[in-house]
Amino acid sequence: MFLKFAFRNLLRNKKRTFTSALSVFTAAMLVGVGYGWINGVMDLYSEGFIKYQTGNVRVVTEGYESREKFMPLDEVIVNADEIVSNIRKIEGVTSVEERVRFGILMGKDDNTVTAVGMGLDVKNNSFGFADKMIEGGIADHGIYLGVRLAESLRLKVGEEILIASKTSEGGLNGIKVKVAGIFKMKMAAFDKHYFFLNLADAKKLLKIHKGATEIYAFTGRAEDSAKLRDQIKPLAGEGLSVKTYSEQMGGLDELLKMMKSIFFFIEIAILALACFVIINTMVMAIFERMREIGTLKALGFTEADLFVIFTGEGAMIGILGGIPGALLGFLGIYMWSKTGINLEGMLKNVEMPIEYVIHPMLSLTDIFGVLAMATIVPIVSSMIPARYIRRYLPSDALRM
Amino acid sequence: MKYILQLALKNILRSKRRTVLTFMMLTFGVTVYMIMSSLYAGLDEVSFDNLVQFETGHVKMRHVNFDEDRPFSTDNLMTQKREIYEKIKAHPFVRGVTGRINLLAEMDNGIDSMPVVIVGYNRQTDKEVFELAKFISKGQMEKDGAVIGVDLAKDMGLEIGDVANLTFRDINGMYTALDIPITGLLYSGDPMANKMKVFMDIDIIQKSMDTGAISEIAVKTDNMYKANKYAEILQKEIPDAEVNSWKTLSYEFANVVSTKKKAGNFILLVILIIAMVGIVNTILISIYEKRREIGTLKAMGMLDKEVRNLFIAEGFIIGFTGSLFGLLFGTIANLYFIYHGLDFTAMMDQMGNMGASMVGVMKSVWVIKDYFVVTFLATAASIFASYYPAKKVMDMQPVDCLRTVQ
C-alpha cells in the first residue's frame, strides 16, 4: 500500500519527477557505458599481454631473465623439447610454443631500422599472423614482415634481404632470405618492428644447435596461470625461471588493477551526483507536503510508515531512471563490442601489445553490479531527506 | 551589503555540520584540481625544455623531403653549405647555429648489444645552441671519446674509460665498426637521451660514414616563444630545406599536452557541478528551515531582494571559504610534489614512452594562474548555484511564512 502511495505521489508533479529520473537515467547510462569501456580496455590489456608478449606462463633461464632487454642468445634451454612435451600433457594446456627472439639492425638501401626477429612455428602460434597477412602466405622458408617494417625498408613479397645477427657462440652470422609474407596485426609494436621466421631457420642463423631461449604455455584463461605455473615448475628444474603473465608484467599489472578500482569509485561518484537531484526533489516534496504529512500522522501513520513512503518515492524515481539508463548503456556496449572501436589514430605510436580495435565488454557480474548500484544508490539517497519527517509533530505539520 | 554578509555568516554558523559538509566537497575538489594542475604543468615544463635542449633547438632545418617514418635514412642527409650558415647568422634574432648528424647504430660491450642513436655534434658550435655540457653528470666531452646516457651505461655495464664497440651502416650501405672510449655520462630530463643516445664529435662520425653531410641544422634564437615567426622568416630565405620551430616539431607531444589540459578542465567542471549541486541543496534546506525568520524579516521591512541576497551571500561564503581551504590544502600538498616529486621510475621502465619526455621523478611547478582562476570560478559557481533556491524566497508571503511552526 505504501509503495502505491509513493507511486501516485510521483505522478502529482510529472515534470519534476521526469527531470529527476532523467538525470539518474543519464548517469546510469554513463556508468553502464563507462564500466563496459573500462573493463573492455583493461581486460584487453591483460589478454593482449598474454597472447602477444608473456603467454599464460613463460619458461626461460634465470640468466635470460636478468639480461632480458638484450634478448641474449647464449641463455638457451637445452632440453626445451622435453619440457615442451611434458607441459603438453598437463590438463588445461591449449598450446605450448618454443621461441627464439633476437634484436638486429636491419638495413636496405638508404634506410636502417631496429627490428626484432622471432623464430617460432609459423603455422601454429598465438600471434596468428598467418591469418593477418595482407600479402604473400606461409612458405617453407622465408621471413614475414610487419607492414610498417616492410614499408620502412621498401620491401615487397619475393624480394630478398640479408639478415645478420650475433649468434649464441658470440660471433656473427648472416643469411639471405626471401620475404614470404607481410602481415598487419594492428599493433604498433609488431607492425613496426617485428619479423617472424620459422624456428629451424632462426636456430640456423643464430647457431642454436639444440633447445630454445623461451617456452610459452597457454591455457585460454588468465585465472589458470598461477596453477599452471605451479605445475610447470617441477618439470622445468633448476636454473629455470617459470613465471605467470602477471609476474612478468610486474608493476604494470598492479597499475591496471588500481586503475580499475579508481574507475569503479568514479562511477559511484557519478551516480551519487545524480542522486543529489533526487535529494533535492525529495526535500522540496517533503516541505511542500508538510500538511499532508501532518494529516497522515494524525490519522495514525507512524514515522516509519512515512519514512517508507517518501523513501519509496525517491527510490522509484531513481530506479525508474537508473535501470533503463543502465540497460541502454549495456545495449550500447553490446553493439560496440560487435563492431569494435578503432583507436588506430591514438595507438599507432604506442608500442604495447594492444590491438588498435577495442571491443568493450561487460560480464554478467559487471551487469549485475551496475544494476545493483543503480538500485541501491537512489534508495540510500532518498533516505537522507526522508529523515526530516521525524522532526514535526502532527499539529505543527498541519499548521504549515 | 556588509550587514547582509554578517547576517549570512551568522546563519551559516548555526548549522555547522551541514555547512562544513557542503564546503568540504568544494575544498576536496579544489585540492585535487590544484595538485593535478601543478603536476601536469611540471610535466609540460620539463618535457618542452627537454625537447628544446636535446631534440629540436628553437628552430630546426632538415632536408626538404625529410621522411618522418624513415628518420635514419641517408636520403635525409643534407650537404653542409657555408652560405646557408651565413644566411641564417645574418639575422639579428639568431644566437647560435650548429649542424648535427644522427644515425642508428648497435652498441656492443663484448657480451650484449643494443640499439643506440649516435649524435655527431660540432664541438665548437654545438654549445651556442644546445646545453649538453650542463647535463654531463660524470666525466666530460672529449674529442676522441663518447658521452653516453647514464641508463645506457648502466644497462651495458660500461664505466668511464671502458671501450664500446659501435656498428652502423655508412653512406654506401656498408656495415662499419668503431671502437670508442667512454669519456662522459649524461643525465638529462630526457629519458630517450639517457637510454639511447651516444654523443660524439661529428668529424669522427662523418669520417667513418664516408660523408660530409649532416642530418640537421639547429638554431637558437633570442626568444623561443617567437620561434614560429622566426622559422617562417628562415623558410622564405632557404626554400630548399624544411624549416620548423620546436612547436611544430613537437606537435605530437603538444597534442598529448592539450588532451591532458582538456582532461584537467573537464575534472574542474565536474568538481564545480558537484559543489554547485551541494550548495543548491544546502541553501534550499536552509530556506525551508528558516521560513519564520524570512517572514519576520519581510514583515519588518526587509525587501524581497535583500532577503534573497542574504541567501546568495550564504552560498557565496560557503563557496569562497571552500575554495580558500582547497587552495590552502592544495598548496601544502604541492609543496611536497614540487620539492620531492613523484617517483615513477619503476612504472616508466615497464611502460616506456607514455607521450611525455620525462625521467622517473615527476615534480610539480607552481601555477599562479590557478589561484585566481579557481577562486573566481568556484565563487562564481557558488553564487550562481545559490541564486535559484534564493529566488524562491522572493515569492514567499510574510504572513504564510509566519504561520509556519518550527
For A122-147, how does the pLDDT look when each residue is reduced to its tens digit (9 = 90+)?
998 999 888 999 999 999 899 999 99
For A348-375, how does the pLDDT look when each residue is reduced to its tens digit (9 = 90+)?
666 666 676 777 777 777 788 878 877 8
Most A-contacting residue of B276, B404, B405 (CB-CB within 10 A), to test interface: B405
Contact between A80 and A215 (Cβ < 8 Å): yes
Q: Is A210 exposed, middle or buried (0-12, 13-18, 19+ CB in 10 A)?
A: exposed
Beta carbon pairs, A and B, within 8 Å: 96
Q: Mapped to the 3 state alphabet, what secondary structure does B299-347 carry?
A: HCCCCHHHHHHHHHHHHHHHHHHHHHHHHHHHHHHHHHHHHCCEECHHH
Residue B306: is its pLDDT beyond 90?
no
**Alpha helices per DSSP H over chain A:** 2-10, 14-49, 62-66, 80-88, 147-153, 188-193, 199-206, 225-236, 245-249, 251-288, 290-298, 303-339, 344-347, 364-386, 394-399
| Residue A288 at interface with chain B, using a CB cutoff of 8 Å | no
Residue B66: is its pLDDT beyond 70?
yes
Which residues of chain A does B75 touch, with a Cβ-Cβ cutoff of 8 Å?
Answer: 110-111
When pLDDT is cut at 50, 70 and 90, the band that residue A389 belongs to is low
CA gap B173, B176 in Å, rounded: 9
Q: Does the distance separating the beta carbons of B113 and A70 come in below 8 Å?
A: yes
Give the pLDDT score at B355. Answer: 43
Higher pLDDT, A113 or B273: A113
Contact between B393 and B308 (Cβ < 8 Å): yes
Q: Mean pLDDT in chain B?
A: 83
Residue corresponding to grid cell 582532461: B263
Considering only CB atoms, B288 lies closest to which of A114, A287, A351, namely A287
Which of these, A100, A144, A148, lies nearest to A122 by C-alpha position? A144
Give the pLDDT score at A397. Answer: 58
For A25-83, how does the pLDDT look when each residue is reduced to its tens digit (9 = 90+)?
877 887 778 777 777 777 777 888 898 889 999 999 999 999 998 999 999 999 999 99
When pLDDT is cut at 50, 70 and 90, the band that residue A246 belongs to is confident
pTM: 0.73
CA gap B168, B178 in Å, rounded: 9
Give the pLDDT score at A211. Answer: 92
Residues in Cβ contact with A74 at an 8 Å cutoff, skipping those fewer than 6 apart? A168, A169, A170
Alpha-carbon separation of residue B334 from B36, B156, B182, B331, B345 (angstroms): 9, 37, 40, 5, 20
Cell representation of residue A167: 649468434
Give the pLDDT score at A134. Answer: 95
Give the pLDDT score at B353. Answer: 44
Higher pLDDT, A196 or A390: A196
pLDDT, mean of residues B21-41: 81
| Residue B167 at interface with chain A, using a CB cutoff of 8 Å | yes
Residue A160: is its pLDDT beyond 90?
yes
Residue A347: is its pLDDT beyond 70?
no
Give the pLDDT score at B304. Answer: 84
Chain centre distance of CA B82: 38
CA gap B41, B367 in Å, rounded: 7
Most confident of the ranges A49-63, B249-263, B388-402: A49-63
H/E segment holding residue B241: strand B241-245
Contact between B101 and B168 (Cβ < 8 Å): no
Residue B259: is its pLDDT beyond 70?
no
Q: Is B395 exposed, middle or buried (0-12, 13-18, 19+ CB in 10 A)?
A: exposed
Give the pLDDT score at A94. Answer: 94
Residue B270: is its pLDDT beyond 80?
no
Most confident of the ranges A273-277, A336-340, B154-158: B154-158
Give the pLDDT score at B360. Answer: 56
| Residue A273 at interface with chain B, using a CB cutoff of 8 Å | yes
Question: Lowest-confidence range among A181-190, A268-277, B255-264, B333-342?
Answer: B255-264
- Above pLDDT 90, what percent of chain B? 37
Most B-contacting residue of A111, A152, A163 (CB-CB within 10 A), to test interface: A111
The residue type of B317 is I
Which of these, B263, B264, B265, B250, lies nearest to B355 by C-alpha position? B250
Q: Does the distance separating the beta carbons of A279 and B281 come in below 8 Å?
A: yes
| Residue A26 at interface with chain B, using a CB cutoff of 8 Å | no
Q: Mean pLDDT in chain A?
A: 84
H/E segment holding residue B6: helix B2-14
Residue B142: is its pLDDT beyond 70?
yes
How close A42 gets to chain B, by Cα (Å)? 15
Residues A40-44: contacts with CB under 8 Å, at least 24 apart? A40/A333, A40/A337, A40/A358, A40/A359, A40/A360, A40/A361, A41/A358, A41/A360, A42/A256, A42/A259, A42/A260, A43/A361, A44/A354, A44/A355, A44/A358, A44/A359
When pLDDT is cut at 50, 70 and 90, the band that residue B168 belongs to is very high
How close B167 gets to chain A, by Cα (Å)? 9
Q: Is A262 exposed, middle or buried (0-12, 13-18, 19+ CB in 10 A)?
A: exposed
CA gap A59, A256 in Å, rounded: 24
What b/e sequence results for B162-172 when a residue is b if at least 16 CB atoms lie within 10 Å of its CB, and e otherwise?
eebebbbbbbe
Residues 333-362 of A with CB under 8 A from B: 349-352
Higher pLDDT, B33 or B117: B117
How close B285 gets to chain A, by Cα (Å)? 7
Give the pLDDT score at B350. Answer: 47
| Residue A169 at interface with chain B, using a CB cutoff of 8 Å | no
Residues in Cβ contact with A60 at an 8 Å cutoff, skipping those fewer than 6 apart? A68, A75, A77, A213, A214, A215, A240, A241
Residue B261: is its pLDDT beyond 80?
no
Residue A376: is its pLDDT beyond 70?
yes
Which of these, A281, A305, A267, lies nearest to A381 by C-alpha position? A281
The residue type of B135 is F
Q: Mapped to the 3 state alphabet, what secondary structure does A238-261 carry?
A: CCEEEEEHHHHHCHHHHHHHHHHH
Q: Which residue is closest to A397 within chain B, CA to CA? A: B405
The three-state secondary structure class of B74 is helix
Give the pLDDT score at A400. Answer: 53
Q: Does the distance separating the beta carbons of B277 and A277 come in below 8 Å?
A: yes
Q: Does the distance separating the beta carbons of A152 and B75 come in below 8 Å?
A: no
Which residues of chain A does B273 touch, with a Cβ-Cβ cutoff of 8 Å?
Answer: 273
Residue corresponding to grid cell 631500422: A113
Q: Does the distance separating the beta carbons of B115 and A400 come in below 8 Å?
A: no
Most confident of the ranges A2-11, A148-157, B292-301, B347-356: A148-157
| Residue A110 at interface with chain B, using a CB cutoff of 8 Å | yes
| Domain limits, chain B | 2-51+253-403, 65-239
Considering only CB atoms, A284 lies closest to which of B114, B175, B284, namely B284
pLDDT, mean of residues B7-28: 78
Higher pLDDT, B381 or A399: B381
For B100-140, how does the pLDDT look when each residue is reduced to its tens digit (9 = 90+)?
999 999 999 888 999 999 999 999 999 999 988 888 999 99
H/E segment holding residue B283: helix B251-289
Considering only CB atoms, A283 lies closest to which of B108, B115, B284, namely B284
How close A277 gets to chain B, by Cα (Å)? 8
Phi, then psi, of A56 in degrees rounded to 5: -70, -40
Alpha-carbon separation of residue B235 from B22, B250, B251 (angstroms): 57, 18, 18
| Residue A294 at interface with chain B, using a CB cutoff of 8 Å | no
Phi-psi region of B289 (alpha: psi -120 to 50; beta: other; left: phi over 0): alpha
pLDDT, mean of residues B212-216: 94
Cell representation of residue B400: 504564510
Residue B16: is its pLDDT beyond 60?
yes
Which residues of chain A does B103 touch, with a Cβ-Cβ cutoff of 8 Å?
Answer: 112
Higher pLDDT, A11 or A99: A99
When pLDDT is cut at 50, 70 and 90, the band that residue B352 belongs to is very low
pLDDT, mean of residues A9-20: 76
| Residue B284 at interface with chain A, using a CB cutoff of 8 Å | yes
Contact between A238 and A78 (Cβ < 8 Å): no
When pLDDT is cut at 50, 70 and 90, the band that residue B357 belongs to is very low
Cell representation of residue A38: 573500462
- Report chain B's terminal Cα–Cα distance, integer Å: 28
Residues in Cβ contact with B179 at an 8 Å cutoff, skipping those fewer than 6 apart? B163, B164, B165, B166
Which residues of chain B does A352 touch, with a Cβ-Cβ cutoff of 8 Å?
Answer: 351-352
Which residues of chain B does A251 touch, with a Cβ-Cβ cutoff of 8 Å?
Answer: 346-347, 349-350
- Above pLDDT 70, what percent of chain B? 89
Cell representation of residue B295: 517572514
The three-state secondary structure class of A74 is coil
Question: Lowest-confidence range among A93-97, A387-391, B5-9, B233-237?
Answer: A387-391
